[in-house]
Amino acid sequence: MIKIENVHKSFDENHVLRGVNLDIKKGEVMVIVGVSGCGKSVLLKHIIGLMTPDEGRVIVNGTEISSLPRKALYKARQNFGMLFQSAALFDSMTVYENVSLSLTEHTNLSEAEKVEIVKDKLELVGLSGTEEIYPAALSGGMRKRVGLARAICMEPAVVLYDEPTTGLDPIIADTINDLMVRLQKRLSITSVVVTHDMRSAFFVADRIAMLSEGSIRFVGTSEEMEAEDDPIVREFLSHR
């Protein structure tokens, strides 16, 4: 589904990605971990085409995202849902308006059809009946869930999550973890999750990839990671 081939990216002297190779299969939850500043968010931005590689390519569903012209990229992005770390809701808009935003922008659906879709997505994230509420009145965990409802509104083939549970208390974090797994099962979405939170990683991952010094140091299941001998992986896990 997603093929990352020899991706390099530098910011001036800072050579952040130094030949990243990673294949993500259709329908799997791939979790990307690594120390702060190692380039996880930068890698995520390459998958969605918000950044282009200096070298190498990113192929999503057969299309080379990394070389698309702007207009085609805009269209290709409709295959992605993205949950940003801050949830990035518009405070002046209701939950309904926030969630239906991309439907309004990218489709010609009638208001009645949009209402139906938003109702369904809010139900999925456990927030039925919150349509008319403004984000300011919601807790952090609820905002994340609204962000998630918005990310899946267009029924994207791929959902990208940047630190979905960071900063949430463990109980709320678990509801988000449950939700990620349920969405993947029910909508057979391919998910890429970037996180610091190893507890969340082990809970949701089909596979975990560890980014270290600009390349993928390890890829495997949770069990394989726990059993891994590589000292860099062991060192990283010891800080849990």
Ligand X SMILES: Nc1ncnc2c1ncn2[C@@H]1O[C@H](COP(=O)(O)OP(=O)(O)OP(=O)(O)O)[C@@H](O)[C@H]1O
Interface with ligand X (CB under 6 A), residue from 40, 121, 145, 207: 40
Residue whose CB is less far from Mg ion, 51 or 157: 51
Nearest-approach distance from CB 91 to ligand X, in angstroms: 24
What is the rounded distance in angstroms from the CA atom of residue 111 to the CA atom of residue 23? 39
Interface with Mg ion, residue 165, by CB under 5 A: no
| Cα distance between the two ends of the chain | 31
Per-residue mark of binding to ligand X, 2-31 (x: CB under 6 A): ---------x--x-x---------------
Sheet containing 190-194: give its strands across.
Answer: 80-83, 158-162, 190-194, 29-33, 207-212, 215-220
What is the rounded distance in angstroms from the CA atom of residue 97 to the CA atom of residue 118? 9
* Partner from ligand X, Mg ion, none contacting 14, C-beta within 5 to 8 A by type: ligand X
Count of residues that interact with ligand X, criterion CB under 6 A? 12
Interface with Mg ion, residue 195, by CB under 5 A: no
Interface with Mg ion, residue 98, by CB under 5 A: no
Interface with ligand X, residue 103, by CB under 6 A: no
Count of residues that interact with Mg ion, criterion CB under 5 A? 2
Interface with ligand X (CB under 6 A), residue from 22, 24, 31, 42: 42
Interface with ligand X, residue 36, by CB under 6 A: yes
Matching residue, tokens 């922008």: 105
Per-residue mark of binding to Mg ion, 33-72 (x: CB under 5 A): -------xx-------------------------------
Q: Segment contacting ligand X (CB under 6 A): 37-45, 105-113, 148-156, 221-229? A: 37-45
Q: How many residues are given for the chain? A: 240
* Partner from ligand X, Mg ion, none contacting 225, C-beta within 5 to 8 A by type: none
Q: Which residues contact 75 (CB under 8 A, 6 or more apart)?
A: none
Per-residue mark of binding to ligand X, 186-205 (x: CB under 6 A): ----------x---------
Element (H, E) at 191: strand 190-194
What is the rounded distance in angstroms from the CA atom of residue 209 to the CA atom of residue 221? 9
What is the rounded distance in angstroms from the CA atom of residue 226 to the CA atom of residue 160? 24
Residue whose CB is less far from ligand X, 41 or 190: 41
What is the rounded distance in angstroms from the CA atom of residue 190 to the CA atom of residue 99? 20
SS3 content of the chain, % helix, strand, coil (to 5): 40, 25, 35
Can you give the binding site for ligand X, defined by CB under 6 A? 11, 14, 16, 34, 36-42, 196
